[in-house]
């Protein structure tokens, strides 16, 4: 018996061809497509303006592979974490982060991660597989439903900063963004989407060649190769100079915003000497912002959060040296939903 095809792999012209081939009207393809991408149907049974006979036929010929919410947690600060279950039984996590001005969805791109960054809970997990473009899309759609249910309005921003390295799932990440930004789907501006990478220089350049319209964030976290090698193994094959060259290439091709992410680890990367090295890197990249991030404790990892006084000294040094810097306060720490904490703990 042949495996059924995932119906969401079909674009609208291909769906029209299918309906014509089975002797049905083309407009049925439009109706089906709306259920898939605007109404976010989780099964063919939900497609109520299609006949029962047609719904049964679609279910016989196609799979509709959709994420399900397996568990939800609400933080005292308003952050919501959802654990999603895939069709093959894996778990991934996404987070809804509300503020006064925006509601941001933080979504995952892989089940687990292969990079093993030493401060990250996801890095303790094995990478099981890449997420499909539709599975990434589903996270956004489900978090958007949650945003409307709890806060009364749509998502305003999306960050690919959850589990996994987005640029190691390149095609599915770009295809998910194409669906999220499409006028026949969520119609979100690509300028409200940021993809975060631990630093895959070759694929950063590929983003430039592909003329993407979304923003990019580099998880730098140390400004010398010696220190970055110690906490991020990827730096051994994608060193800081390679990343500087790749980010300049990306900016020359796209003119999109670039942010540097820098998590402060006590005694590891938070001295004034570290700040001075960060200034040097900042001046070599057309970045518009350095996000200094509070470290969030992870069981089994020995790093400690930098204290408030040292954080202020570090960021003041950056500001005094004309670095556009912002401290990103952690949200959702009490439910393990903050930066670096996603590990399917539920």
Active-site annotation, residues: 93, 339
* DSSP helix, strand, coil percent of the chain (3-state; round to 5): 40, 20, 40
β-strand pairing of 193-197 with 157-160: parallel
**How far is Cα 90 from Cα 53, in angstroms, rounded to an integer?**
32
Q: What residue spans of the chain are helical by DSSP H?
A: 12-21, 27-37, 52-61, 133-151, 170-181, 201-209, 225-231, 240-254, 272-282, 308-320
The crossing angle, in degrees rounded to 10, of helices 201-209 and 240-254 is 10
Judge contact between 168 and 110, C-beta under 8 A: yes
Which residues are CB-neighbours of 95 under 8 A, at least 6 positions away? 79, 80, 81, 82, 105, 106, 143, 162, 332, 337, 342
Distance CA(178)–CA(187), nearest Å, equals: 9
Q: Do 147 and 103 form a contact (C-beta atoms < 8 A)?
A: yes
**Contacts of 236 by beta carbon, 8 Å cutoff, 6+ apart:** 229
**What angle (nearest 5°) sits at the alpha carbon of residue 244, between those of residues 238 and 246?**
75
């Amino acid at each position: 018996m042949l495996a059924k095809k995932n119906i969401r792999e079909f674009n609208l012209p291909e769906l029209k061809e299918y309906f014509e081939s089975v002797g049905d009207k083309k407009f049925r393809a439009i109706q089906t497509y709306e259920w898939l991408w605007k109404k976010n149907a989780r099964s063919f049974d939900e497609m109520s303006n299609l006949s029962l006979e047609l719904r049964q036929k679609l279910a016989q010929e196609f799979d509709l592979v959709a994420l399900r919410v397996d568990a939800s947690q609400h933080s005292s600060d308003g952050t919501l974490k959802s654990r999603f279950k895939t069709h093959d039984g894996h778990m991934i996590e996404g987070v809804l982060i509300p503020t006064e001005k925006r509601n941001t969805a933080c979504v995952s791109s892989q089940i687990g991660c292969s990079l093993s960054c030493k401060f990250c809970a996801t890095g303790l997990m094995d990478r099981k597989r890449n997420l499909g473009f539709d599975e990434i899309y589903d996270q956004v759609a489900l978090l958007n439903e949650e945003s409307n249910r709890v806060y009364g309005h749509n998502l305003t921003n999306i960050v690919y900063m959850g589990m996994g390295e987005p640029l190691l799932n390149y095609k599915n990440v770009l295809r998910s963004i194409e669906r999220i930004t499409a006028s026949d789907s969520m119609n979100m501006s690509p300028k409200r989407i940021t993809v975060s990478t631990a630093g895959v220089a070759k694929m950063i350049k590929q983003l430039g060649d592909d003329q993407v319209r979304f923003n990019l964030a580099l998880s730098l976290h140390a400004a010398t190769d010696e220190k970055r090698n110690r906490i991020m193994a990827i730096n051994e094959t994608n060193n800081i100079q390679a990343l500087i060259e790749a980010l300049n290439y990306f900016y020359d091709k796209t003119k999109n915003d670039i942010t540097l992410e820098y998590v402060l680890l006590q005694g590891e990367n938070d001295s004034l000497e570290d700040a001075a090295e960060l200034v040097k890197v900042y001046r070599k990249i057309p970045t518009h912002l350095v996000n200094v991030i509070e470290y969030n404790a992870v069981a089994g990892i020995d790093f400690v959060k930098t204290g408030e006084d040292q954080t202020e000294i570090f960021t003041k040094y950056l500001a005094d040296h004309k670095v556009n810097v912002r401290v990103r306060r952690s949200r959702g720490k009490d439910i393990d939903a903050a930066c670096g904490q996603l590990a399917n703990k539920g």
